[in-house]
Amino acid sequence: MSVQVCKVTTGRVPLLISMPHNGEMIAEEIKHVMTEQGLAVPDTDWCIDVLYDFAQEMGVYTIEPSYNRIVIDLNRDPKGVNLYPGAQSTELCPTSCFDFSAIYVEGKQPDEAEVARRIATYWQPYHNQLATTLEQMRDQYGVALLLDAHSIRSQVARFFEGQLPDFNFGTADGSSCSQALQDHLAQFDCQPYSQVINGRFKGGYITRAYGQPANNIHAVQLELSQRTYMNSAETQFDSDNAEQVKKVLRQFVQHLLNFASQQSGE
């Protein structure tokens, strides 16, 4: 039985939450060339769907993949362009985990033909759905907002020094959304959590590619520190911590919807 590459839930308000690193599955045809560390998919954005499980109730559209970022990273440029020149990054089809451990058995890394196959099989369908949904929303409501939802461990030496703030908002230095939304975003208070806008994470490929404020499509990325909803070691989901941060996430989603309402004249 074939597995659906991604799932779109239709909403009734002009906001789409994309969860490109939420998938946990590994394609059967590549498991045999992967290491035990790779098979453990340690760099997953764990439980993002659980953190935003209020979205449907609020009428928000969602899109999420079935397959893990190790198969192919949906938030990378298909041409392999580095989003942060000069800084450490992982590839479109990652060959190492965040801790530099190998994902593939020696000599079995995906070649150019395999990368192209994965783009066609996994990457392109997600992006086709994403683009189509945003355009339909914009046409229906007059405006479309995209929240690209991510999470990461609070300490990852490969990518940044020290401890990451809790809420890391990215708008590609303001290019993925209007100045009005940038100002609106700056008004949101994440207390009791720490926050930053366009810090280490300014938005990945999805935010940069789909944020088109001139066409009334605005994109914001949120990179959430996993210490806000995992246990102290950031290895297990902590329901008590999660319930607390979900309150702020819900407030933030409502904050975006308030902006959308102002833009659509509702």
Q: Any idea where the domains of the chain sit in the sequence?
A: 6-28+40-76+125-264
Strand partners, 212: 217
Mean pLDDT of 143-154: 97
Tokens at 198, concatenated? 């366009």
> Which token pair is 44?
């997953």
* H or E stretch covering 6: strand 6-9
90 pLDDT band (50/70/90 cuts)?
A: confident
- On the question of pLDDT at 158 being above 80, the answer is yes
Beta partners for 218? 145
Cα distance between residue 142 and residue 14, in whole Å: 8
- Condensed to tens digits (0 to 9), the pLDDT of residues 169-206 reads 999 999 999 999 999 999 999 999 999 999 989 999 99
What pTM, to 2 d.p., does this model score?
0.96
Residues in the chain: 266
Q: Are 229 and 238 in contact (CB under 8 A)?
A: yes
What is the pLDDT averaged over residues 138-159?
95
- Residue found by looking up tokens 């086709």 in the block: 128
pLDDT at 265 over 80: no
89, 18 contact by CB (below 8 A) = no
Average pLDDT over residues 146-161: 94
Mean pLDDT of 31-50: 97
* Predicted local distance difference test score (pLDDT) of residue 80: 79
Percent of the chain whose predicted confidence (pLDDT) is above 70: 97
Contact between residue 73 and residue 91 where contact means Cβ atoms under 8 Å apart: yes
Q: Which fold has domain 6-28+40-76+125-264?
A: Aminopeptidase (3.40.630)
Average pLDDT over residues 71-95: 86
DSSP H or E segment with residue 153: none
Q: CA-CA distance, 209 to 119, in Å (whole number)?
A: 16
Instruction: Summarize pLDDT for 103-128 with one digit per residue, the tens.
Output: 999 999 999 999 999 999 999 999 99
DSSP state of 226: G
Of the candidates 225, 76, 101, the residue with the CA atom closest to the CA atom of residue 160: 225
Burial letters 183-195, b for 16+ CB under 10 A, else e: ebbeebebeebeb
Confidence label for 1 from pLDDT (cuts 50, 70 and 90) = very low
Closest CA to 246 of 167, 183, 187, 132: 167
